[in-house]
A and B are shown apart, each in its own frame.
Chain A
């Protein structure tokens, strides 16, 4: 007996909370355990048999239950709880659309068959666009939940989730929707659309021309919708997921750093150095000078003296003077006389320096021994008794 559809809808409305629970069970586990369903029915005072009569549920082999596909889609749609279909599952439409299209091209006689093929094509393209729409809606909702972190997952998990969506859903869906990609299904739809466009204008049978026109209009609308979906996928959803991924990566890196800031080597940042071409410590020296200047000390000024060049022993000059004076009977007396002649005072330095001439090879010295032979001279207020030394030409000067 055929059941009045309004009765089914009223049943669903009356027991909507129980239906929602059943839908969630199916979504989480793919089946509904008998015990659980029994409990739900008891709590909500529902006759379990009604679910089977209305074909909302069906039995599985091991006495558990499942939502029938149509009701599952219906509840997914009204609850906006689409399950994410793997693009591989959407790929099936490539085969179905291609096969029907090829049959349509080859069929020229059976008009009823052509009409059926056209309707089937429309149905397949509709299912395909809806599958894409559902997937994108679900991805969009999930992405927003991920951004808001509804499930309170860690940043590392967020990165994993975003990477997974990009890799397993968005990239393959992009390939399916991108006309220029070899895996594209939209390119097949575009080809069918071109064919339908030609047939709606030139097909000999006017009724079939109308059918082709219907197919063309549907495919054009589908193309536009798919283009919009592609653009949303590429321009909005993909950047949003990428952004969540990158931001989560950055934050998980920051959190890792914060666990122990001293453990990690931070990025190199230029260390400013004070440059000074004289010395690295010039600024310290300058500081010292300024500090010194800020605490003044008494300063004493001395009279200015004439600058006197220090005496320098001109050995050759004195040697020549000695050689000209040879033979010299008393060398020390000669020193005193020579310095007096040059108006020099007699210092230790001068006396000792000139004395070294005795060791020149050009001269020969002979010391007069005996106390009576001592000679007195005054050097820097000291009276000295020095021996009398005779100096004559030496070996080298004689030769």
Chain B
């Protein structure tokens, strides 16, 4: 069996919970060219699913890190809501560099209910610590010591929110039609 030259790095990064981005050309290209082999490798070796998106690869295990995933959604929900209130196109804005200071300000000015949740899950007051946790997985990237930008991985959470909204409106439509039938 012959493995690609960067096989060890690919396996290590994915098993470390990192998303492999298309900006990491060498790893992304190797995975892309050997996608079937790698899917089979991770499935038979560990029972994990390798998922391919247009801009990144990642692993999914039966056992999921739900706490981190939930915390990311809460963090994004508050940040995007506040950016929108500030007349910003949040979807574009968070792909550009944002200072940690600005993010802290956005989170601090949010309503009390959201603010309490952020403190409860320990994102606040040490926002930078949470951002470093996300950087370890390539969800955000530190462009300088105090500036971050989100990577394309953020779209995964946006897609999730969209699906949630669609499901909610489908449920509402179903509820309305049930009421009409009664």
Q: What is the predominant secondary structure among interface residues of chain A facing chain B?
A: helix
In angstroms, Cα B172 to Cα A282, docked, is: 52
Interface string of A272-292 (1 = CB under 8 A from B): 110100000000000000000
- Interchain Cβ contacts within 8 Å, total number: 113
Closest-CB distance, A133 to chain B (whole angstroms): 26
The answer to whether the Cβ of B179 comes within 8 Å of any Cβ in the partner chain is no
Interface residues of A (CB under 8 A from B): 147-148, 155-156, 159, 243, 246-247, 249-258, 261-262, 264-273, 275
The answer to whether the Cβ of B77 comes within 8 Å of any Cβ in the partner chain is yes
Structural contact, B90 and A271, CB atoms closer than 8 A: no
Instruction: List chain B residues, Cβ under 8 A from A155.
Output: 165
In angstroms, Cα B15 to Cα A147, docked, is: 42
Q: Which of B75-116 contact A (CB under 8 A)?
A: 76-78, 80-81, 84, 87, 89-91, 114
Q: Identify 16 residue pairs between A and B in the complex whose beta-carbon atoms are under 8 Å apart, listed by A's number.
A: A147-B87, A156-B169, A243-B89, A243-B91, A247-B91, A251-B81, A253-B163, A253-B164, A253-B165, A254-B76, A256-B164, A261-B117, A268-B64, A270-B17, A270-B65, A275-B15
Structural contact, B165 and A250, CB atoms closer than 8 A: yes
Structural contact, A254 and B77, CB atoms closer than 8 A: yes
Structural contact, B168 and A270, CB atoms closer than 8 A: no
Instruction: List chain A residues, Cβ under 8 A from B59.
Output: 270
Closest-CB distance, A8 to chain B (whole angstroms): 42
In angstroms, Cα B34 to Cα A19, docked, is: 72
Query: Which residue of chain A has the shortest Cβ distance to B169 in the bound complex?
Result: A156
Instruction: List chain A residues, Cβ under 8 A from B164.
Output: 253-254, 256-257, 264
Which of the 9-residue segments B25-33, B122-130, B143-151, B154-162 touches chain A?
B154-162
The answer to whether the Cβ of B135 comes within 8 Å of any Cβ in the partner chain is no
Instruction: List chain A residues, Cβ under 8 A from B68.
Output: 269
Q: What is the predominant secondary structure among interface residues of chain B facing chain A?
A: helix
Instruction: List chain B residues, Cβ under 8 A from A275.
Output: 15
Structural contact, B160 and A270, CB atoms closer than 8 A: no
Query: Which residue of chain A has the shortest Cβ distance to B139 in the bound complex?
Result: A269
Structural contact, B60 and A261, CB atoms closer than 8 A: no
**Given known A-B contacts A268-B69, A270-B61, A270-B65, A253 and B16 have beta carbons under 8 A apart:** no
Instruction: List chain B residues, Cβ under 8 A from A270.
Output: 14, 17, 48, 58-61, 64-65
Structural contact, B156 and A159, CB atoms closer than 8 A: no
Instruction: List chain B residues, Cβ under 8 A from A261.
Output: 70, 73-74, 117
The answer to whether the Cβ of B170 comes within 8 Å of any Cβ in the partner chain is no
The answer to whether the Cβ of B43 comes within 8 Å of any Cβ in the partner chain is no
Instruction: List chain A residues, Cβ under 8 A from B69.
Output: 266-269
In angstroms, Cα B51 to Cα A269, docked, is: 11
In angstroms, Cα B80 to Cα A156, docked, is: 16
Structural contact, A249 and B17, CB atoms closer than 8 A: no
